Amino acid sequence: MVVMTKAELKQYLKRSDIVIDGNVATWNIAVEGDISGTYHGVFKFKCFLTPTEKLAAGRDYRELLGTNAALAFKREDDLALTFAQLKYRILAAPPFWSSAIGVNGQTGDIPD
């Protein structure tokens, strides 16, 4: 778990790249990748999932890890959780995200 100091939290809350309106957040991304260059665009995503979306994300998470989930490395576990959550949270994404299709049709399969 990451713990921020009060000063770090105050600075974080001043961010202007994320705007929250109800249950929808809009994120204007401008990030330099390590491999594929610069990523620009706008994501819209849900801040909260419904109970059935949480269950579906949990099923996807377990499926991504496979039958030997207990043998997965921490990084693999983190990636599986991230992709499972993003599948139900992302409402709109820039082309670099939605065109990067990986295994089983998973979007966002970007090498960076």
What's the rounded mean pLDDT across residues 26-45?
A: 88
Instruction: Look at 1 and 34; give whichever has higher pLDDT.
Output: 34
pLDDT tens sequence across 65-111: 988 888 888 998 998 999 999 999 999 999 888 777 666 676 676 76
- Supply the pLDDT for residue 111: 67
Largest CA distance in the chain: 43
CB 80 within 8 A of CB 65: yes
Distance of CA 109 to CAs 31, 33, 76, 102, Å?
16, 13, 14, 5
Handedness of CA 20, 22, 23, 26 (dihedral sign): negative
Please tell me the pTM assigned to this model: 0.74
Confidence label for 2 from pLDDT (cuts 50, 70 and 90): low
pLDDT tens sequence across 44-73: 999 999 999 999 999 999 999 988 888 888
CB 78 within 8 A of CB 86: no
| Closest to 33 (Cα-Cα) out of 79, 80, 82, 97 | 97
Rounded Cα gap, residues 57 and 3, in angstroms: 26
